[in-house]
Structure 1
């Protein structure tokens, strides 16, 4: 029983952190969509659809992460096989989407790079001309999101931010461990109920 308790609380802590991260992602997406500094990007005729799509994806991903984190937390604490099963299915769905997005990104690498580069150049040129805060914020987010520091890899005057480390592999590994732990806990709960 000690091992089951350990897994139970590991799953709870993992999902609580996942829920907090989902809350942060949702808040970031909502902030980007409705903040006065970035809302101007959505209102013009030539507003970048890439940025708008990305913001809506952030909002949806944050909401999904919150639901998954909630199912994992409640399923672990209440020892509910139904909630843990739903949690596992959501994680499996997220894992499949990550793999599909990775494959799509690799197969369309040239087009994606071209679209992102064109969007960046347009945003950077507009920022140099207008010095709008919304464009500066967009450039800062691009730098953090793509782990870059300017159009040619050098720090530019418009946004001197520190580039973050890449996190793609860590997310994938964390998802796999979450799936493993949820199934271990589900099996342990089933065995303990069969034993009684």
Structure 2
């Protein structure tokens, strides 16, 4: 089918295709990151503690969001290349829903940030206390994952905690790190949430740009078809009069 779009409209068409291809790549990256967090030994121990909100936020949400982004990017690419108003309309609706969900998720994530951090801190403290009382090997390995993953040592960061043998050493010395794990947990998750927030804002701006372009292209594709229908209607009306 020969395209009846103007040069400017063709430019919009290929901009939408490029946008959706990048969006699809971003979704692939988020999906892969979610899978890595889910199956990586160290991050799995940190994020799948006995806390449903931590597991959902840190592990399963990126997997779901990444998969949806991949499907949406594919839909937008096909709609642009095939010049399908239906597919572009569906793309706009789904993109708007995801944008609204992203805003809601951002507000929700900001609201529960302190709760998530506290749950992870409490999980660490409970594991620490249980290990001090029982000396179980499984608990020792869990604590070691915390210590090496966050580069911290114990509840206070001091030798009196009695876990220096499973703490990372300072670079170039034999001394263990003196950062307490509760403070390291708060620092790490706060900094990462700030990065995630910045990325979310950037994605939101791109989504708005994509919605505008999709509607412009959809209208440009539909206009010649409306004109053809109008011409057919006028021709039939004139023929009937003759």
Aligned residue pairs total 174
| Aligned residue in 1 for 2:71 | 67
Summarize the Cα distance change of 1:134–1:41 in structure 2 as closer, same or farther, 3 Å threshold: farther
State TM-score, norm by structure 2.
0.61
Residue aligning to 1:114:
114
Report the equivalent of 1:49.
52
Cα shift readout 1:152-184 (whole Å, capped 9, x = no counterpart): xxxxxxxxxxx7882333222111111100010
Residue in 2 that maps onto 1:159: none
Q: Which residue of 2 aligns with 1:171?
A: 203
Structure 2 distance, partners of 1:179, 1:78, is 17
- 8 A Cα contact 2:17 2:76, kept in partner: yes
Gap regions ≥5 residues in structure 2: 1-5, 129-139, 151-183, 229-242
| Kept in 2: contact 1:39–1:134 (CA 8 A) | no
Larger relative contact order (Cα-Cα within 8 Å, sequence gap ≥ 6): 1
Q: How does 1:68-107 map to 2 (within 5 A)?
A: 68-104=72-108
Structure 1 residue 117: Cα displacement: 2.9
Once residues 106 and 43 of structure 2 are traced to their aligned partners in structure 1, the CA distance between those partners, rounded to angstroms, is 28
- Higher gyration radius (CA): 2
SS at match of 2:87: helix
Alignment-derived partner of residue 160 in structure 1: none
**Partner residue, 2:8:** 3
Q: Which blocks of at least 5 consecutive residues in structure 1 are unaligned? A: 148-162
